[in-house]
Structure 1
Amino acid sequence: MTDIFDIRFLLVIRESKSLLEASRKLGLTPSAVTQRLQQMEKKLDLRLLDRSARQLRFTDEGEVLCVRGAELLQQFDALLEDLHERRRGFVGKLKINAPFGFGRRYVAPAVAAFKSLHPEVEISLTLSDQPMVEASDRFDVVIHIGQLGVSNLVCRTLAPNRRFICASPAFIARHGLIDSPEQLAHQPCIALHENNEDVTLWHLSRGRKTQSIRIRPSLISNDGNVIKQWGCDGQGIILRSEWDVADALADGSLVRLLPAWKLPDANVVALTHQREGLPERTRNFMRFLQDSFLPVPPWRA
């Protein structure tokens, strides 16, 4: 069986008056053209060109191959053009994975707004408590919050996000206001289980001083909304993202503890499998999501 390059080669010969003219069009020597033509005939076990004639004349089999091959080339070129249009345009499928809480509050509305602007894009949004543990190769974009471990995914920052240690006023009234990280080890704490991380080891820094405190959680959940609600209900001390507790801190449902100490930032990022060659729908969605957090993210507004 011949391939698509052989068909293009044959069509150039068919459009030429002689092998010499064909060789010029192909940028080859006449002997190279003849040799390749002989190799094709040997591979197909067919004679394609009648060399006894003064002018180039294809055999019946050679003519069929040219006519049918031209049709296939047209379909192939149309397929490539369609793929390029898909890359440039807003059609096709877009599969997104995001954490439960952040996905509900920020990603889902953005997906709906993006869909309204580009109705031809088929979007699938999956919310998960372990977006980095699941088969990320099934998704075009993975929204991740926090530090990124070893990964071959390409990371793009969407929005800044800090993390705070908080408790309710009722909890502070019962247990007192802590003034050092060491006290966390002896207080009722609540841990969020996500991405198979060590959620009982909290890292704090103040200037050049760093401390890692091993808490003993009295409650654990894989749902950030549950963690926040337990904290507001006075069940224990929580460590949560700024995006999640900013409203509770503003209305007094939670109070920030150890404000002089800093925890590692947990920026919101978008992960993809490659940096270049992404479909336009994927790149545009990430820009759209990024723009929704500008000039400042909602949790800092």
Structure 2
Amino acid sequence: MLSSEDFLFFGVIAGSASLADASRRLNVSAPAVTQRLKALEQRVGVRLIDRSSRGLMLTDEGELLAAQGSAIVDAIEQLDERLGQRSTSVRGKLRIAAPYGFGREFVAPAVSEFVRLHPEATVALELSDHPASLSSDSWDVVIHIGSLHGTTRLVTTLAPNRRIVCASPAYLRDHPVIKAPVDLQQCRCLALRENDEDVTLWRFSRPDSSPETIRIKPFMSTNDGAIMRGWALAGLGVIMRSEWDLADDLATGKLVQILPDWRAPDVDVVALLSARHGRSRRITAFLDIMRRHLHPVPWRVRPSGGYSAPPVP
């Protein structure tokens, strides 16, 4: 007889690229995952996974178990949630995914407060390069920064965030003055590859001009925001990056905003919620804490002065 733990285990397997990936998500060794999967297949009497050079492939029986198991787990969680609503406690497991840098700086402290306030709840926090690409059935809350394309999830905004074009004083001192967006095509630009966006297409607007779009030719690129920020601080080129990550460097003058009269598209900090799961008591409690941590907006609060968000409407 299968248990809810079996369904949860196989759900992680079904959503993983490999058994090694599944072991990391489950925080156990790869041999332990293989052994448990083998035992599960022996109990149900059918093969659930086919392994190939392309990764894990679910058999027809595996597809059935993943789908039906997910529905059963959802039903159990919804029943637990409804029973929990008759009390004032927040309980159950909260699954959160977030980007690496933002997750470390802002989400992890909110999670710490959440578990202190609600000791009957448990949390699984996973940081990822592409949190929005994770299966919506595996996560209660996905923190996302960037463009959204055709999401089926519920979206709630947590904090405003702009993209800022900037460079170090050393770079600007040694290169021609940038007066208009088109001038960036002659610059040594650095690109951050994230969220499957077209990162070489930079868009700008301002009230008194038509929008401008330019195609940069990246001198260097990376998928790690901290690395790209370090390159910019070292004077290696021009970057376009979220203000949450740059505000301290802009306030201290380590980086200088370029084209302050022009505005790149906003990339607000949002939470993506499963449309099927809705908003449980624990999700609501966590989002309330996240909003408190992000209000007033920490990257726009600089008591010593320095950077402030440009007043372009």
Please give the TM-score of this superposition, normalised by the length of structure 1.
0.70
- Name the structure 2 match of 1:285: 286
Which residue does the alignment assign to 1:199?
199
Query: Which residue of structure 1 aligns with residue 247 of structure 2?
Result: 246
Change (3 A) 1:120 1:212: same
* 1:164–1:92 CA distance, 2 compared to 1 (3 A): same
Whichever residue aligns with residue 176 of structure 1, its letter is P
Q: Do the aligned partners of 1:162 and 1:263 also contact (CA within 8 Å) in 2?
A: yes
Give the Å deviation of 1:120.
1.5
Say whether 1:84 aligns with 2:60: no
Residue range with higher mean Cα deviation, 185-194 or 270-279: 270-279
Structure 1 residue aligned with 2:97: 97
Q: Structure 1 residue 287: deviation in Å?
A: 1.4
Partner secondary structure for residue 290 of structure 2: helix
CA distance in 2, matches of 1:231, 1:244: 12
Gaps of 5+ in 1: 1-78
Q: Secondary structure at the match of 1:138?
A: coil
Aligned position for 1:117: 117
Residue 228 of structure 1 deviates from its aligned partner by 0.9
In structure 2, C-alpha distance between the alignment counterparts of 1:193 and 1:137, rounded to whole Å: 26
**Corresponding residue for 1:264?**
265
Tell whether 2:269 aligns with 1:297.
no
Choose 1 or 2 for highest CA Rg.
1
Aligned-CA RMSD value: 1.8
- CA, structure 1 residues 130+276, in 2 after alignment: closer, same or farther (shift >3 Å)? closer
* Alignment map for 1:148-159 (pairs within 5 Å): 148-159=148-159
Mapped to 2, the partners of 1:80 and 1:112 lie a distance apart of 25
Task: Name the structure 2 match of 1:72.
Answer: none
Q: Which amino acid aligns with 1:221?
A: T
Distance in 1 separating the partners of 2:155 and 2:78:
29
Q: 2:81, 2:281 within 8 Å by CA — same for their partners in 1?
A: no
User: Distance between the aligned counterparts of 1:123 and 1:81, measured in 2?
Assistant: 19
Does the 8 Å contact 1:189/1:236 carry over to 2?
Answer: yes
Match of 2:226 in 1: 225
Structure 2 counterpart of 1:209, one-letter code: S
- The amino acid that maps onto 1:86 is G
Q: Take 2:151 and 2:114, find their aligned partners in 1: how far apart are those partners?
A: 28
Which residue number corresponds to residue 55 of structure 2? none
Q: Report the Cα offset of residue 82 of structure 1.
A: 4.5
Q: Structure 1 pair 210/102, CA: closer, same or farther in 2 (3 Å)?
A: same
Corresponding residue for 2:128? 128
Cα deviation, 1:109-161, whole Å, max 9, x if unaligned, reads: 11111111112211011111111223232110000112321111000000011
Q: Structure 1 counterpart of 2:160, which letter?
A: P
| 2: CA distance, partners of 1:98 / 1:266 | 15
Task: Please state how far the C-alpha of 1:284 moved relative to its aligned partner.
Answer: 1.1
Paired amino acid for 2:288: R
Distance in structure 2 (CA, Å) of the matches to 1:277 and 1:144: 18
Code of the aligned partner of 2:83: E
Query: Are 2:179 and 1:179 equivalent residues in the alignment?
Result: yes
Percentage identity across paired residues of the two chains: 47
- 1:86 touches 1:279 (CA, 8 Å); kept in 2? no
| Distance of 2:227 and 2:119 partners within structure 1 | 35
Deviation string, structure 1 residues 31-86 (Cα, Å, up to 9, x no partner): xxxxxxxxxxxxxxxxxxxxxxxxxxxxxxxxxxxxxxxxxxxxxxxx99754233
Is the Cα–Cα contact under 8 Å of residues 147 and 197 in structure 2 kept in the other structure? Answer: no
Change (3 A) 1:275 1:292: farther
Supply the AA of the counterpart residue of 1:113. E
What's the counterpart of residue 147 of structure 1?
A: 147
Distance in 2 (CA, whole Å) between partners of 1:191 and 1:140 is: 31
Counting matched residue pairs gives: 222
Query: Residue deviations 1:168-187, cap 9 Å, x none?
Result: 00111111321111111111
Check conservation: 2:146, 2:195, Cα contact below 8 A. no
Return the offset for 1:278. Answer: 2.3
CA distance in 1, matches of 2:79, 2:98: 32
Pair 1:82–1:142, CA change in 2 (3 A): closer
Structure 2 counterpart of 1:138, which letter? S
d(CA) in 1 for partners of 2:168 and 2:124?
Answer: 37
Unaligned 5+ segments in structure 2 are 1-76, 302-313
SS of 1:175's equivalent in the other structure is: coil
Describe the SS at the equivalent of 1:235: coil
Q: Secondary structure at the match of 1:261?
A: coil
